[in-house]
Amino acid sequence: MKQQAPIVQDAFQCLRLYPEIVHGALKKCQITKANQDYHDFKSEAQLSFIAAYCTCMQRPLQAQFVNFNNALGYISRAVVWDLQHLLRKERRQDFYHGAPFILGMIKPAPNYVEHVHEATVYQEICNRCSDEELAFLRLRMAGCSAAQIADSMGSSVRQVYRIHRRLRKWIGPKLLD
């Protein structure tokens, strides 16, 4: 245990020197400050940074020469992968807890959903939509205007219209409007 203490201290010092790795990983995963769980994701990213640093520095050096820039690249990728894993896990949990809400959003259209089980439709929507698109759907079906959706998502009205157009392509105009 005495050997690991300097590595962990070095990891924290490296985290203080390179905070852009954590912020870049959050940005790459499209986690903005407008996200209600931003601080939780940031903390998870920082913990992932520490774990990846310790893992990287404890590996025995084989025939390859590993420089510090390669180590930072490994750490950066590890943080992004951990955040993406958390986002997928969160989406799977939302699938089981949000099914009645999403199914209530879909307007009845017998031509489109005839002979299709509702859970299958909901599962397809959750699998194909990004977090941003799911947030848009929830706000849109709650009756919010484009400006209100843009404010709550922390994006522009133009981006809200892009999301709307993208969803209309595969959900269909009769189900979304």
pLDDT (tens digit per residue) in 59-82: 765 434 467 777 888 888 999 998
DSSP helix/strand/coil, 114: coil
How far CA 110 is from CA of 168, 171, 174, in Å, comes to: 17, 14, 11
N- to C-terminal Cα separation, the chain: 60
Helix axes of 68-97 and 131-141: crossing angle, nearest 10 degrees: 30
Domains of the chain by start residue, with CATH? 4-91 (1.10.1740), 99-176 (1.10.10)
User: Nearest Cα to 79, choosing from 15, 133, 127?
Assistant: 15
The pLDDT of residue 68 is: 74
Residue 136 to residue 55: CA distance in whole angstroms: 39
Determine the average pLDDT of the residues in 128-157.
85
Provide φ and ψ at 114, rounded to 5°.
-70, 135
Helix axes of 68-97 and 38-58: crossing angle, nearest 10 degrees: 140
> What is the 8-class DSSP label of residue 60?
P
Determine the average pLDDT of the residues in 79-88.
87
The pLDDT of residue 79 is: 92
Using one digit for the tens of pLDDT, what is the confidence trace for 90-135? Answer: 776 655 555 444 545 544 444 444 445 566 666 777 777 888 888 8
The pLDDT of residue 22 is: 92
Using one digit for the tens of pLDDT, what is the confidence trace for 15-58? Answer: 888 889 999 999 998 888 888 888 888 999 998 998 888 888 77
